[in-house]
Structures are given as structure tokens and as C-alpha cells.
Amino acid sequence: MTTTRENPSGGARILVVEDHPLIAELIETRLRIEGLRPTKALGGADAIARLDTESFDLVILDIMMPDVDGYQVLAHIRNTDAIKDVPVIFLTARSSPDDVERGLHLGADHYMTKPFSGADLVRRVKILLAERSLPAGERSAESAES
Amino acid sequence: MRDELPTLLLGTDAVVRADVCAEITAIGASPVVCTEGSLADGVRLAEETNAEVVAVLLDAEPGPALALIKELAEFVPSAHVFALSWDDSPETVVRAMRAGATEFLGLPLDATQTLKALLKVTALRRLAHPTRTPAEVWTVYAPKGGAGVTTLAVNLALEARAAGRRSVCLLDLDFQSSDVALFLNLNPLHTMLDVTSSFRRLDAVFLQGTLARHASGVYVLAGPPPGAGTISIPVEHVRAVLDLLRTMYDVVIVDTPRTLAGETLAAFSAASRVLLLLDLTLPFLRGYRRTMEVLDGLGVPPERVDVIVAKHGGVRAGGPLEAATKTLGLSVAHVLPRDEEAALRALDKGAALGEVRPGSPLHRAIARLARGLLGGNDIPEEQRGGWRRRGLLGGLFAS
């Protein structure tokens, strides 16, 4: 079990999949301030291409995107051996229980409904990154969070 | 923006608190002003000291400290909560973060990690208060209804976006009618009510998430939806939204109600230009005087106020413009011609004047006004602001 003398989330590579350029930019700025290394993908197809060629420690994923939606991206992640365990946070304007359940059933680790604060998102990213060091049974039983 | 970083250190052991406080002060890049207190007084002290950083010492029994962290996250959301502990195992780190800590620092403090954590706080502060040129804020107001405030605000926003390649946001502070979204044929998912209901979470990411995007690229923070009932949105929330939008956009245009309520006054105070709409009828002119008194009381200098005569011309016009300017000493910066047909057609279609009546006198006048406000030469300096009382009719406004 590793200790966390060093920042457990320091330098982690985060893929931000969000087709709204301003929100993507704001999230990217926020993550950079936290010492993380975000990369933006402005659509689902771009996200899948990056996931297949680059290495990420966590994915922040919008659901509603015009080309390939977040559900398809998540399915790709969970069905690809090399990346199937990467933590995923869903971001969505939808907050119906069915959407929440669908996202979590497909394997999302966390779910945030828009609008969300940058501080809340960063907090959740840090928790998920810190939890990587825990045995699987001790990680949080995830639920959606607005 | 202050230079020092007020920091509060909370823990059960006074000796340990003093030692750690001294360490943090020595490490901090900004002048760190560190005060200390017990866990029991934590929330109260955090509020009283207005600490930006609240560091909580976790001891062997971390339960009370974790409970305090949770309270701080809820009741003092503006503070950055650091958890400090001799136990830096993953389990403890995760527990602290789940409670609401934004940083975890192992003890004894590592100078590099501590400095990084403190620098993040100052970086976030700079993000909230950038030193770049603040946005233009154009507050559109009329002392009586029916002058065309929303028509002007909406079309100014569209013209500003089209003319200057600038980022533009339109803020609807007329909470009783909330017409801006209607004028633009928008169906916003979120409104100012969402900001108010989650005010503690407000930051740029949250606020951007509440804005509706018009096809022109103008973003809109809509007023509360119809049927929302009695609206009570604290002025503090309005000010916070204005302050944030100014850091996010190049131009912020504010549609205000005709009442001189808190939100209107906040919009006046934030404005780089107040666009004061009136027609040349007596009720407007009386209201105008009251408005100028209020602006003066708020410290808004006359040169920041542009008087715009609306709905000028036609059979229902008020007194001639010349009479008003000469007799009343009204200094008119701009005139918008009467064109109700175009305005109603635009409203009916939820479209810009430039779309439904391109080249109409009203469209051209608003486009010219936008260019002038963006730094063109359409409003001569001497015609900006000010009302000079003189003449016989000036007695109407005698103090």
C-alpha cells in the first residue's frame, strides 16, 4: 500500500471530453491549477481516438455530444482491456433517475449534473485518484452527485 | 486584491498548532497570516477571520476533525480546507477528501508540497480576480416601462457580438418578466434561480453551466421562468454574478427592471456605461431626474451615463428633441427612431432586428450605438452623460 507523502493526484493525466468549448476550457484551467495534466477532446470520436493512443488516469465525460455520445465512449472504455479500469466521471445536463442509472450501470464511477462547480469537480477527481491506492473493496460505492 | 493569505489552523493541541502555524508561515510564498484555534470554535473562527485557508489537524482519533472538515465545506465553502495528518495512508487521505478537504498534507510538513498547495490558492484567487482589462458592463435602464429596454439590450448584445468578435453575455435582471430569453427564442435549461439555489457553489465553471447559448454566440443568463412565484434573489447574488461575468466575458449587457430595486442598483454600480432610455414625455422626464439622483448617490459619475432617446419620431412622439435639449439642458448621446413594427416583428420571431429588418433605421441606430460603445466614434465625448438643469421648464426639476 502506498503512502501519500507526495500528492496522490499530482501530475495525473485527465481526459476532458466536453463539446462545449468554454466549459472545456474552464475545466482545463481549473485542473491545471491543481497540478493535473488535462487534455481536451471536443467530441466522442476524438475521445475514442485519444484513448486508443494515449494514456490517461481519469476521464471526465459529457454524455450528450453530437457525434459519438458519452455512453458509447464509456462502453468503449469498459470493453477495452488496456483502459477498462480508468475512472470515469459523467457530466450531464440530464438528471433523470434513468440517465443516472444507465450511466452507473455502464460503469461510470461518478455522475455530476450540470451546472456543477469547478471546486466540486476537482474534489471528485482528487477522491477518485486517491482511491486508486485503496484495495477495490474499500473504494466508494458511487452514487450520482449534482 | 490583498497580498496576504489569511490562514486559520485548527486542532486539539495548542502546542502542535503553534508549531505548525509557524511552519506554514515560514513556507508560504505570500505573506501568510496564520491564526489558530480549537476544533470546537472552527466554523465560527473561519467565518470571523475570513480565512482563505483553513487547515485542520487530524490526530489519532480523526473523527472530530473530519466532522469539522465536513462542516467547513458546508458552511464556509469559500475557504480552502487543508487536512493535515501524521497518518498519510491512502485510507486517511480518502477519508479527509470525502469529508470535504481540498488538500491533504502529511506531517511533518513537506515544504515543497505545502508551498504548492498555498500557491494553488493564490492562483485560484487570481483566476477569480484577473488583472486583465475588466469587461465592459453596459446597464440598460428606463425609469418607466415600454421604452424598449429589452429590445435595446438584446439587439445591442447581438450587434456587439457581430461587430467586435468579442465574447458577449446578456444578463436578465428583470425577474418579474424575464423577457430576454423570449426575445431570443431561447428555452434555457437554467436561470438565475439556479444560481441562487446553489450560490455556495458558484464559480466560473458553475456559472458558465447555467448560461444558454444563442446561435449568434451571445450567452444569456435568463431570469426566473414564468410561474416561478414570488422571486427573492439576494442582491449579494446579483453582485457576485456580475463580478464573475466580468472576468469571463469581454462585454456584459444587463437588462434591468424599471424599479430602482437592489438588482438595478447593483447593475448601476457595476456598469462601465449606464444606457438610460427615455422618451420625451413628462413621466419619463420626471423619472429621469430621480434616476440621476440615484446614480449620483451611488457614485456613478455623469460621464458614465448615456442618455438615449427612444421611440423618437412619429405621431405619438413626445416633445421635440430640440426643445428638450435646449430647454431642459438634456444631453442626449443617442437617438433611437420609433419603429414598433420592426421591434414587434423581431419579438414575434424571436430574432434580431438585423435579421427581420436589416438596414431599418432602428437596426442601423442600434448597430451604430454598439460600435460607438465598443470604441468607435459615434458618441462624441461632449454628448456623454450629464443633465444640466436650466430654463423655465427646468423648474419642473427644481430641488
**A6 pLDDT more than 70:** no
Return d(Cα B389, Cα B394) in angstroms, integer.
5
Segment among A108-117, A135-144, B219-228, B231-240 with least mean pLDDT: A135-144
Which residue from A minimizes the CA distance to B128?
Answer: A30
Task: Locate the chain A residue with the closest alpha carbon to B197.
Answer: A115
Q: Do A7 and B113 touch (CB under 8 A)?
A: yes
Q: Give the max Cα distance, chain B.
A: 83
- Inform me whether the pLDDT recorded for A10 exceeds 50: yes
Residue B78 is predicted with a pLDDT of 84
Average pLDDT over residues A31-35: 92
- Of B55-59, B135-139, B212-216, B376-380, the range with the lowest mean pLDDT is B376-380
Q: Which of B122-136, B209-223, B371-385 has the highest mean pLDDT?
A: B209-223
B102 band by pLDDT with thresholds 50, 70 and 90: very high
Spell B364-379 as b/e; 16+ CB within 10 A means b.
Answer: ebbbbbbbbbbeeebb
Residues of B in contact with A4 (CB under 8 A): 88-90, 93, 104, 106
Q: Is the Cβ of B392 closer than 8 Å to some Cβ of chain A?
A: no
Please tell me if residue B94 touches chain A, with a CB cutoff of 8 Å: yes
Chain segment B14-39, per-residue pLDDT in tens: 888 888 888 888 887 667 888 889 99
Distances (CA, A) of B123 to A33, A38, B247: 7, 17, 14
Positions of E strands within chain A:
13-17, 37-41, 58-62, 88-92, 110-113, 144-145
What's the complex ipTM?
0.85
pLDDT reported for residue B345: 84
The residues, any chain, with a CB within 8 Å of residue B14's CB and separated by 6 or more, are B36
What average pLDDT score do residues A114-141 get? 84
Residues of chain B in contact with residue A23, where contact means CB-CB under 8 angstroms, are: 205, 208-209
Instruction: Answer yes or no: is pLDDT of A120 > 70.
Output: yes
When pLDDT is averaged across residues B199-224 and rounded to a whole number, the result is: 93
B311-352 pLDDT, tens digit per residue, is: 777 545 555 666 666 666 678 888 888 888 888 888 888 888
Contacts of B206 in chain A (CB under 8 A): 115-118
User: What pLDDT is attached to residue A95?
Assistant: 66
Contact B256, B149 (CB under 8 A): yes
More reliable by pLDDT, A96 or A17: A17
Contact yes or no for B89 and A120 at CB 8 A: no
Question: Taking 50 as the threshold, does the pLDDT of residue B222 lie above it?
Answer: yes
| Range of weakest confidence among A27-31, B101-105, B164-168 | B164-168
- Over residues B254-274, mean pLDDT: 95
* Predicted pLDDT of residue B381: 44
Reduced to 3 states (helix: H, G, I; strand: E, B; else coil), residue A3 is coil
Q: Tell me the average pLDDT of chain B.
A: 85
Integer angstrom CA distances of residue B375 from A35, A92, B59, B253, B331? 39, 39, 60, 16, 20
pLDDT at B244 (0 to 100): 92
A137 to chain B: closest CA residue: B91
Sequential DSSP letters for B346-391: HHHHT--HHHHSTT-HHHHHHHHHHHHHTT-SSS-GGGSS-B---S
Closest residue of chain A to B217, computed from CA coordinates: A22
C-alpha–C-alpha distance, residues B31 and A49, integer Å:
46
